[in-house]
């Protein structure tokens, strides 16, 4: 275990210091001695260049297993545990109704920080309880049942090493990790499904010392999808670059962000794209304890990598909501995923898609004719700490005059103490010109600490 930890630390340090102005001149890793020694010095090619962060990093790094502070960092970390049991019922004719009772265990451990270095790992196990009367994304030989995309898996969910430097306000992370950008509309972890989506990636975050600024860059070489490694689409081999800049210091609680996502998938070239966009949001006082929240976003997307289609499509969204603290909120949203004359559409393959276009999951892949989603709804905190929410969606095509249908969503959730929670959730999609009537019901109990 110590050897693995040292290798993670070495990888992080190499990412940190191997820049134009520095070089690692001595790496001495001795498993038999249980020690790692790295020496950082100035590169001869550029002896005068030295950043603020590299001034802090330039030193001898000598980690030994018998160092009490190092041992303490390894052993005094935090354990994370979660168990989630869920029953999901799906009615989708002409298939048999799915009845999936699944349990998910997640167990993780994160070390404490040692000279800015730390590590984290967690595992996920998903199992069907009783008869698996559902199609687990084609992995359990039940093609006559409706799909519930929660196959039985045991996976390494996350394993990463991290370096943080407070004086330079810099964070570096490498390994398998959860990545969520903003509200997960473009980049998310699909946390609703029992096996979440994670990324084999390198991440850099910094504010450059500017208050309210957040800069983030991610390089992805593999996407670990919810279907698990046993599925032919369970892994995306990737060469993707994600760039996000956010600033939240404008007057009136206004924030502005710009982003660019270059997605290139070797084994899913039709999903390769380049997307550039911007987003703004803010809150306005609207009376005693009342707040009017607004949000707007726009993006342009075109083909990238080996995508066989040449296309260009737009995205835009406008949200407006009135809320009173956490007691209640009401609002509406209009979201458009555009189409290039019905030949190809704006796609978001790495998003947490279940949170958008309704819980019935009818539009996980945007139709070639595009999609316009007009929705409104609200939530309220009722008696006994029960939070109830409801939403209505109306779906139209972006090109042509296709009315896909409408959908209603309801949910009720209640926490029980610090560790337990219960959830009841329902979705009904009513098809019109296209699609199939669909109903889904979820009953869920979760324990975590």
309 within some domain: no
Alpha-carbon distance of 38 to 36, in angstroms, equals: 7
Q: What is the pLDDT of residue 42?
A: 39
438 within some domain: yes
Q: How many domains, in total, are found in the chain? A: 1
Tokens describing residue 264: 């290139």
Q: What is the pLDDT of residue 131?
A: 86
Q: Which residues are 29's β-sheet partners?
A: 36
pLDDT digits (tens, 9 = 90+) for 297-335: 999 999 999 999 999 999 999 999 999 999 999 999 999
What counts of helices (H) and strands (E) characterise the chain?
A: 3, 21
399 within some domain: yes
407 within some domain: yes
Residues 6+ apart with CB under 8 A from 440: 88, 89, 90, 91, 359, 360, 361, 426, 427, 428
Contact 139, 149 (CB under 8 A): no
Domain range for 437 is: 370-449
What is the three-class DSSP state of 265? strand
Q: What is the pLDDT of residue 64?
A: 57
402 within some domain: yes
The side-by-side arrangement of strands in the sheet containing 60-64 is 22-30, 35-42, 60-64
Q: Which of 193, 244, 188 is CA-nearest to residue 215?
A: 244
Question: Model pTM?
Answer: 0.84
379 within some domain: yes
414 within some domain: yes
260 within some domain: no
DSSP string, 398-417: SSS--EEEEEEEEEEEEEET
Per-residue pLDDT of the chain (449 residues; tens, 9 = 90+): 444 444 444 444 444 444 444 444 444 444 444 444 444 343 333 444 444 334 434 444 454 555 668 888 888 899 999 999 999 999 999 999 999 999 999 999 999 999 999 999 999 999 999 988 999 999 998 999 999 999 999 999 999 999 999 888 999 999 999 999 999 999 999 999 999 999 999 999 999 999 999 999 999 999 999 999 999 999 999 999 999 999 999 988 899 999 999 999 999 999 999 999 999 999 999 988 899 999 999 999 999 999 999 999 999 999 999 999 999 999 999 999 999 999 999 999 999 999 999 999 999 999 999 999 999 999 999 988 999 999 999 999 999 999 999 999 999 999 999 999 999 999 999 999 999 999 999 999 999 99
Q: Which residues are 63's β-sheet partners?
A: 36
Alpha-carbon distance of 201 to 350, in angstroms, equals: 14
């Amino acid at each position: 275990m110590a050897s693995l930890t040292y290798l993670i630390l070495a990888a992080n340090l190499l990412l940190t210091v191997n820049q134009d102005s520095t070089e690692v001149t001595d790496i001495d890793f001795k498993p038999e001695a249980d020690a790692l020694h790295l020496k950082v010095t100035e590169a001869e090619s550029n002896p005068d260049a030295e950043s603020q962060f590299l001034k802090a990093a330039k030193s001898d790094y000598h980690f030994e297993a018998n160092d009490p502070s190092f041992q303490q960092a390894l052993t005094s970390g935090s354990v994370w545990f979660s168990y989630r049991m869920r029953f999901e019922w799906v009615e989708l004719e002409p298939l048999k109704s799915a009845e999936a009772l699944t349990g998910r265990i997640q167990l993780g451990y994160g070390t404490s920080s040692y000279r800015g270095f730390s590590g984290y790992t967690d595992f996920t196990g998903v199992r069907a309880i009783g008869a698996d009367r559902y199609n687990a994304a084609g992995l359990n030989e039940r093609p006559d049942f409706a799909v519930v995309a929660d196959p039985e898996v045991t996976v390494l969910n996350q394993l990463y090493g991290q370096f943080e430097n407070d004086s330079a306000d810099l964070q570096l992370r490498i390994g398998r990790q959860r990545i969520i950008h903003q509200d997960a509309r473009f980049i998310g972890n699909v946390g609703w499904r029992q096996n979440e989506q994670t990324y084999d990636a390198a991440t850099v975050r910094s504010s450059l010392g500017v208050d309210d600024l957040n800069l983030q860059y991610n390089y992805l070489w593999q996407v670990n999808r919810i279907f698990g490694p046993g599925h032919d689409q369970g892994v995306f081999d990737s060469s993707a670059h994600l760039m996000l800049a956010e600033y939240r210091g404008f007057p009136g609680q206004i924030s502005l962000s710009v982003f660019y996502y270059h997605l290139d998938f070797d084994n899913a070239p039709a999903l390769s794209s380049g997307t550039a966009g911007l987003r703004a949001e803010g809150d306005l006082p609207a009376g005693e304890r009342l707040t009017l929240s607004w949000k707007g976003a726009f993006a342009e997307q075109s083909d990238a990598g080996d995508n066989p289609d040449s296309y260009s499509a737009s995205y835009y969204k406008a949200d407006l909501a009135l809320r009173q603290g956490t007691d209640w909120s009401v609002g509406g949203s209009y979201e458009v995923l555009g189409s290039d004359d019905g030949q190809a559409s704006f796609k978001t393959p790495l998003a947490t898609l279940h949170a958008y276009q309704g819980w019935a999951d009818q539009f996980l892949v945007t139709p070639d004719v595009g999609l316009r989603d007009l929705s409104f709804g609200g939530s309220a905190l009722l008696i006994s700490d029960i939070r109830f929410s409801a939403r209505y969606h109306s779906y139209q095509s972006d090109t042509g005059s296709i009315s896909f249908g409408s959908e209603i969503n309801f949910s009720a959730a209640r926490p029980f103490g610090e560790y337990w929670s219960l959830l009841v959730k329902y979705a009904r999609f009513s098809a019109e010109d296209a699609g199939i009537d669909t109903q889904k019901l979820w009953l869920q109990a979760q324990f975590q600490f």
